Every structure is written in structure tokens, then in C-alpha cells.
Structure 1
């Protein structure tokens, strides 16, 4: 096959430029072999290689703001993903030589010796270009940024790029054990940001938060930068929005917890447990990071949220036993003048809806184990778990005993209920426990 005509190659180049990063990476890997490629595919590979090189450099140059342009970002500070591409195209028109130098710097980057000064200069140039509208591509990038938090805001973020870039690299240290040296570096960065513009601190911390897997941990960074302030003081500063957003997020997660019902299904239980887990972590982050007062602006609200969380979790956990009693129903028989005992009721087939409800609540019971201690409902969870295990074990033993009797009451129904018990065992314990129940049922 001959090389692709220029018109077709232009189409390929346009398609590759529009493809997501993962698609470009996958395509480059597929075309990486030197053997077995005809002239046309070699030409396509060259196009993909150029695009991959462009994206690596662009991502490195704009690392301080790239998380703010991530697809699906929902934070207070966000810009369309295509903004980065427009900015890079504008920079190549404005300073082609420096962009080419950035390609070489990124390709030969050495963590020990390479300095990001050129990358920071390009960010500052991009910020000024956005503000001035120096060429058509900057104007187009500004229009894209205005679909998000605004071109002016993005321009200011780019002015902070040098400080943000170094701070992002230090995030793992700042999130670990606090030392005087770590705190000093953060406070120095905080002061440098304030020197650039008095109202830039929120933009700086938003840029850092966008790079955190657990965004609520930005409160720890802010508190370290401000030497662990009180909640009342922080709530009076321009950084109050971070605390207010976290409190609002806790409220939304608590609302989900309160609206949870036994009809939510196992997936709903897992989603609710995850919401509860994050809410607990956010509350703990407040308590660890700030000097809270029970009468403080946020302290009073946090106390109420913690109480609401524990009460809602305990109410759902108390419902576990009731749900199991409907999935594995019992009937009371008299064993003596003063002795009553509950034995499996086999007068009807198992109710799939009741079984699903029990599975849902048992799923919530299991999924909340990581949150129970910090969430203040560990005792309620332990009690619910103990009751559930005892009920399940007794039901399985009594049903098997009935099956092994000379005249079992309803053997087929008994086995059907043992299958329900096996499903509950899988949730409450594990798949091996469920298989053991099934094997015992088959052998009875």
C-alpha cells in the first residue's frame, strides 16, 4: 500500500486530535511494532506519535491546572477539557520556539536536575494571553473557559502556576505526618500566593484540592497553612467556602442515609454505606484539622451532624433482625409447660422480596464496618452482627435437624429456605460459608 494521500492524512490527523488521551495511547501501542506495517499505517503512526508528543508536553506544561479541566469535574472551580488544547495551540502561535524547547525538556526530564522554569513561563504567558486576547486561539480558549469558571479566573490560576506546580508535588508530604519543616514550606507557599494577588488563596487551594483523591483533605492543608485556626476564624475568611462546601456535602450524604430503605437493594446499600463512610471521614477531617468549639460557627453544626449520622445508622442496623425474621420466618411451639421455642415455619414458600430486603440490610451491616468506630455506632453494629449471626446459625441448624428427621415436615420448602439462608450467609460471612450451607442441605 502506498503512503496515504495528503487529504486522507489530514482527515486522520483531525480524528486523532479529537480522540481522548486513552484512545491515542492505545492506538500508539497498537502501531508500535516496526514489522508488519505498510506505508499507509506507518504514516498514521507518525501522526499518532506527533499527537502523543504534543499531549505529553501539554499535560506537563499545564499540570497546575489540568485537574481543573478534567472531564466530569464538578468542583466550584472547573473548565471544559478542551480548554487545554486551545491554550496549547495559542501558545504555539505565540511562542513556537519556547514550545519546541518545552518538548525537549519534557522528553529529557530528570527529576533530580531538571527545572520547570520554562514550563512556568509558558503558563504565565498563557495567562496573559487569555487576559489580552493576543490571537484568535487565545480568544477561543477564553470563550471555552467562560463556559466554566471564566477566562479571568483561569488566567489568575495560570499566574499561580509556579507555586501550584511545586505544591502539588509536595501534597503527599503535607498530607502525612506534620513536621515543622513541612509546615514551613506550605506557609511560605501560602504567603507567596497572597503576594501575587490578595484574593488568590481560594484559587490556589482549589487547584490543590482538584489533585486530591479525597478532596475533603484540603481542609488539612488549609489548616496547616494557617497554623490550625478555630472554626469561627476560618469561617470569617475568604477560605470559608471550603468548610461550607464540606458541611453541605455531609448534609447531602446524611440525607441519602436517612432516605435509605430496605427496598434499596444491595447496590443501594453499598452506595449508602459509601456515602456514610465519606461523611464520617469529612467530619473527622474537621475535628482533626481545626480548633472546634461546641459553640463555634461550624462546631455546633458538626455536633448535630455527628448525632444525626449515628442515630440514622443505628436505626438501620436495628432493622436487620426484623428483616431476617421475615426472610427466615419462625413459628412458636411449646416444648413444656413454661418453655416456648421458635422453629422454622415451613407453611409457605420463601418470599423473594423478604429475602432481598434482608440481603440489602445485611449488605449495609457489612459495608459499614470501616465507618462504625469513627462514626460512633460501633456498639450498635456489633450487637446487630451478633444477633444476625445467632439467628442465622440457629435457623440453619433447626432446619437441617428437621430435614434429618424420620418424617420431615416440608423437605422441599426446607431446602428452599436453606438456599435463602445460604444467600444470607454469603453476605454476612463469605461465599465459603454459603457453600457449606448448601453442602449440608444436600447431604441432609
Structure 2
């Protein structure tokens, strides 16, 4: 009797969920982003075999399995259904789940077959034919206005555009295993395969060739590297030809992205700290890689439509980077305030440390942003043409930091010239700054010297 009495509340809970909340929970699970679903699955991994949590865990496991199958079947268009880093063909993220739900309704047996084929053996031995069949069925359903099953998908996007993507996906699927080789080391054989795929896509429609390239680019970590495939397909075209061709949009995107990187460097706010500084510098590095990619993939003429713009971009990027680097010295001075020259200051220094107030965190944040920007430019400054300017700025910054650190160390050891407690705090700030202008090893040496000074 006791055991029956204990079981009743569980059944009651299950019934309550089934009656009032189960559909809400199922909808939440079905619409949750992949990352959120993984987090939920992990959080409920310890749930027992019975009870409300076990029921929710079962829903999550079923949805995870369904998404695995869905993402294999619709693999070519998965990156298109969500936020893309670069502009290009894109659909709202719910398109993927609604499309899959419609396929389950119109072709349940084929979906079950696809699920059975989603095992390591089948996936390693080539793409199961049923995957492409389901993509074709989805394309046909979207194009059939009488098929109400796809109405929820049509309400989110242009059905013909999505249908064409699904039609092209059968070609894209054969290209995806080769894509990494195409963009890493293009050979004559690989170029021939890329040309065949592009030709096959163009047979579908005039727009399908560029669309194939767009779909493939969405699968690359750096989408602009699709220029290598375009170069192979078109035998390294001139910028004049490419700028007037059906794939000109890819070049225009890269040029627009370089413009955006330049604007970001011009306008990023030092007050946003290290992340903003590093992000802006990474944009400069990205732009440098994009310019090089352009030059290697396209026969650029100095007076060509894109050649002129690339030359202007290089000049603008060097100019804005130099301007922002030059601002770092003033930001450093605000974060490490000084007073008029003292006996402890070395020749050429800006003055002795002023240790009368607590370090200003807002000023420290600004200096960190400026210094992080300069540090992160290490990877591209020399190749981009402003390496010498960067070295001069670093030399100037270190000529400020070195005597400041010696001055503050003296105060920390002796108390002569300021508050030793404040000296220790400013010493830690300066050590953090010198990690940007030199390296972490130098910063650690400064911190050890500070520790020794305190111990003394």
C-alpha cells in the first residue's frame, strides 16, 4: 500500500504535464537553439527513469536525434538557415525545422529510411540517395501552391529561392567533401572538378551557378576564400571581367567587408576595453588576408574597377591604423599619471609617477583597448605596410613604461616619493600594460620584482 501511495503523485505529475504543459514544453524543445538544447540535455542527464524530468529528457533526446538526421539530410542548406557572418543567401532559422516537419508529413517512410541511413557506416560510404530524394521532394512541395504542408515555410521566405537552393544542394553535397582541398591547394584536377560542378549547376538555371558558389561559401570558416574556387572555375579572370560577370557579387562583398573593417577601426571606442581593441585589429588582419586573396585569385589591373579600390583600401587601412596607434601614448599617460620630473626619472622620461589617487579603472580600460589594438596588429602590420609605424609607437610606449616602472618600484620599496600601497597597485597596472607592448614574460618579471619589493 505504501509503494502504491508513493507512485500516485508521479502519475499525477505526468498527467498534469500531459494535460497542461506537455505541448508547451515540446514546442520550446523543438524551437530551442542547438546550443540551448545541448545544455538542457546535459543538465537533465542525471534525471531518473521516471517522473516529470524523465519525460522532458525524453523529449530532448528525441529532438536531438531528429536534428541529427535533419542536419545530415539538409546539410548543404543548414548554414544558410541562420545568421551568416558575411552577406549572402540566408533564410530565417525556423525555416530548417519547418521544412523538416513538412517532410515528415509528406514522406514519413523516406524520413525513416534517412534516419536508418544516418549511421557511421552509411555516412562513410557515400551520401545515401534518400538524402537527395528528400531535398528534391521539399523543392517540389515548395513550388506546389496546392501543397499546404509547406505553407508555414512559405510564410518565412521566398519559396522559389529556397526551392532552388534545395535543387542545387544535390550538386553542393558532392562538392562539400572536396571543398577543404579546393581552398587549401587547388590542382588542375580539382579545378576541373569545380568547373564540372559549376557547369552542372548552370544547367539548372542561369542563377544556379552563382548560387552553388554561395552555398559552398557558407560552409567555409572564412567565406571569402570561395574566391579560390571562383578563380579555378574562371581560369583566374581579370578584375574587369569578374566585375561585370554573374559572380561579381562575391568580389563586391569582400570589398564591402574591407570597408566595414576600416570603419570599425576608425570608430571603435577605447572605453569598451581590450575586446574592442583586439576585435578592431583582427578586422585589420582579416582585411589584409582578403586583399591578398583578391590579388592571388584575380588578375588585378591597377586601373581596373577593383584594382583602384583595392589600392585605396590599402592606403586607408594603413592610415587609420597609424592614427589609432598614435593615440595610445595619451591613453597610457592618463592611466599612469605623472608629476613633474624628479631625481629618479631617467633622461627622456615623461615624469615621475604621481601616486596620490587610486588607479582610475575607466582610464585603465581605455589604455588596455589601445594597447591591445597595437599588440594584435603584430600579425599583419609588416605585410600591410605599417609595421615600421607600429615599431616606432611601441618604442615610444616602452620609453614611457620603463622609467615609470623603475620609479614606482623605488616608491614601493622605500616609501620615498609617494604612497607605497598605491605604488604597488600602479605597478600591477603597469605590468599589465607592458604585457601588451612587450610580452607576458616581461610582465611577470615586473610582478616578481614588485613582490620582492613588498617582501623587503
- Could you state the TM-score of these two structures normalised by the residue count of structure 1? 0.87
Q: For 1:394-433, list aligned pairs within 5 A.
A: 394-401=403-410, 408-412=416-420, 415=424, 417-428=426-437, 429-430=439-440, 431-433=443-445
> How far apart are 1:157 and its partner, in Å?
0.7
From 437, 444, 448, the equivalent of 1:436 is: 448
Which consecutive unaligned segments of at least 5 residues does structure 2 have? Answer: 1-9
Q: Give, in whole Å, the separation in 1 of the partners of 2:230 and 2:74.
A: 23
> How far apart are 1:31 and its partner, in Å?
5.7
Cα contact 1:332–1:340 (8 A) shared by 2: no
Partner of 1:95: 107
2:29 equivalent to 1:16: yes
Q: Give, in whole Å, the separation in 1 of the partners of 2:416 and 2:82.
A: 64
DSSP-derived class of the 1:160 partner: helix
2:146 equivalent to 1:139: no
- Could you state the TM-score of these two structures normalised by the residue count of structure 2? 0.84
| Alpha-carbon spacing, 1:265–1:44, altered in 2? closer, same or farther (3 Å) | closer
| Alpha-carbon spacing, 1:262–1:80, altered in 2? closer, same or farther (3 Å) | closer
Partner of 2:352: 345
2:302 equivalent to 1:299: no
From 285, 296, 305, the equivalent of 1:288 is: 296
2:384 equivalent to 1:371: no
Q: For 1:64-103, list aligned pairs within 5 A.
A: 64-71=76-83, 75-103=87-115
Aligned length: 435
Cα contact 2:142–2:160 (8 A) shared by 1: yes
Q: Give, in whole Å, the separation in 2 of the partners of 1:75 and 1:192.
A: 25
| Alpha-carbon spacing, 1:329–1:356, altered in 2? closer, same or farther (3 Å) | farther
| Alpha-carbon spacing, 1:328–1:188, altered in 2? closer, same or farther (3 Å) | same
Is the deviation greater in 426-435 or in 4-13? 4-13
Q: Give, in whole Å, the separation in 1 of the partners of 2:413 and 2:92.
A: 67
DSSP-derived class of the 1:110 partner: helix
2:116 equivalent to 1:116: no
Is the deviation greater in 135-144 or in 66-75? 66-75
> How far apart are 1:403 and its partner, in Å?
6.4
Q: How big is each residue's C-alpha offset from its partner over 1:347-405, in whole Å with a ceiling of 9 and x where there is no partner? A: 66367365544333222111111121232212222222233234322332344456667
> How far apart are 1:250 and its partner, in Å?
0.8
Q: Give, in whole Å, the separation in 2 of the partners of 1:119 and 1:421.
A: 59
From 63, 77, 89, the equivalent of 2:75 is: 63
Partner of 1:163: 171
Cα contact 2:326–2:393 (8 A) shared by 1: yes
| Alpha-carbon spacing, 1:190–1:331, altered in 2? closer, same or farther (3 Å) | same
Q: Give, in whole Å, the separation in 2 of the partners of 1:347 and 1:96.
A: 76
